[in-house]
Amino acid sequence: MIWVVMLGLALAVLAVLLWLLRGKQAGWEALAAALMLGMAGYALQGSPNVPSAPKVATVPAHQSADAMVQLRQKMEGSDPTANKWLVVGDALARQGQYGDAVTILRGAVQAQPNFGEGWLALGNALVGHAQGNLSPAALYAFRKAAAAEPKSPAPAFFLGLAMAQAGRFDETKGLWAQSLAQTPPDAPWRGELEDRMVKLDKLLAMIKAQEQGDVAQVSR
């Protein structure tokens, strides 16, 4: 039901904007792309089945960072207190202090160059520090994490998440499929990963339908 409401709202907003920008094709194409990107973000990050809480006006930014740290720890199956660098880096990332977290986590991988979870935490912190952008430094960190832990599902998952934030959804699908293949059948996070895969498939189908519609309009 939530998707019907979202699509209806998007079409209503687009209709009003098209009326305001009638005759300006470049303008409405940009707006349509913005609406698609907004729906894409909700599709991958939203939780429409979670009950609403109208008494809360805003959600602190560090909550999503905390969820990222917890999910990484679950997927890695590590002791969160075993590495002093990681303890401090995670604490800073949880508070949204990504720049400071990057500094600490660089110390972790310099001390232990094959520390896969340290590289993964650094990659996530670099993405957060770049406001969701996948920088070359973050990509390098994710690849180092994957090289250090080739059997772990975590590096492919978090790199895929960063790819999704960059709008590179086809690459996300391949990475999440790899992560799912590396995930044990009884892993507690498997259901969440499968749910994200379903959302991603729906999103890709929407994008493909939109592209086919645009091609049909141009060919007329």
Q: Where are the domains of the chain?
A: 1-51, 62-199
Q: What is the pLDDT of residues 22-39, one digit of tens each?
A: 544 444 454 455 455 555
Crossing angle (nearest 10°) for helices 62-76 and 116-129: 160
Whether 20 shows a pLDDT value over 60: the answer reads: no
pLDDT tens digits for range 77-94? 888 788 999 999 999 999
Q: What CATH superfamily is the domain 62-199? A: Tetratricopeptide repeat domain (1.25.40.10)
pLDDT number for residue 195:
94
At 131-148, the pLDDT tens digits run 989 999 999 999 999 999
**Is the pLDDT score of 95 beyond 80?**
yes
Q: Which of 111-115, 170-174, 205-209 has the lowest mean pLDDT?
A: 205-209
